């Protein structure tokens, strides 16, 4: 089950993020962060377990950005990630956004470009 701007516990998102991105869980205030800076977010639930999350940041106008897309190992290869992106895409469009951006590592090209239907674009990045 997917929920746009659904309720979640920051510790649950932090645990999911730590698992997905390979770091120790911290005490990040995900609720506060997305509440202040995001158009919305999508939570994926299996029964009462949070199994997926994506943050939809935005510029306040026509551009939205997928950030921190993550799916629990136990739920991967079941369409959860594509479901997250699909809901995010629909809701960003409904909010009047004209573009949905995402940056990703090369190993995620098939996911974003094939499974989710995004198209490749040129971009740039600087490590800060």
Domain that holds residue 95: 2-115
Please choose, from the candidates 46, 50, 49, 54, the residue with its C-alpha nearest in 3D space to the C-alpha of residue 4: 54
- Quick check: is 122 in a domain? no
Give 124's pLDDT tier (boundaries 50, 70, 90): confident
- Quick check: is 126 in a domain? no
pLDDT at position 16 is 96
Q: How many domains does the chain have?
A: 1
Q: In what order do the strands lie in the sheet with 99-102?
A: 2-4, 38-46, 49-58, 63-71, 99-102
Mean per-residue pLDDT for 13-32? 95
- Quick check: is 49 in a domain? yes
**What's the CATH code of the domain at 100?**
3.40.630.30
pLDDT at position 104 is 92
CA–CA separation, 97 and 99 (whole Å): 6
- Quick check: is 128 in a domain? no
pLDDT at position 119 is 94
Summarised one tens digit per residue, pLDDT across range 102-115 is 999 999 999 999 99
- Quick check: is 73 in a domain? yes
Give 99's pLDDT tier (boundaries 50, 70, 90): very high
Query: Could you tell me which residues come within 8 angstroms of residue 46 by beta carbon, excluding any fewer than 6 positions away?
Result: 1, 75
pLDDT at position 123 is 85
pLDDT at position 127 is 86
52, with CB counted inside 10 A (0-12, 13-18, 19+), is buried
Summarised one tens digit per residue, pLDDT across range 37-88 is 999 999 999 999 999 999 999 999 999 999 999 999 999 999 999 999 999 9
């Amino acid at each position: 089950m997917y929920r746009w701007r659904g309720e979640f516990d920051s510790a649950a998102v932090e645990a999911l993020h730590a698992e997905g991105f390979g770091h120790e869980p911290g005490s990040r205030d995900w609720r506060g962060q997305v509440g202040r800076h995001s158009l919305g977010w999508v939570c994926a639930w299996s029964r009462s377990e949070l199994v997926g999350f994506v943050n939809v940041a935005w510029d306040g106008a026509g551009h939205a950005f997928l950030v921190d897309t993550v799916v629990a190992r136990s739920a991967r290869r079941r369409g959860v990630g594509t479901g997250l992106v699909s809901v995010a895409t629909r809701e960003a469009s409904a909010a009047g956004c004209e573009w949905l951006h995402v940056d990703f590592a090369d190993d995620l090209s098939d996911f974003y470009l094939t499974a989710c239907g995004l198209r490749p674009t040129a971009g740039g990045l600087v490590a800060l």
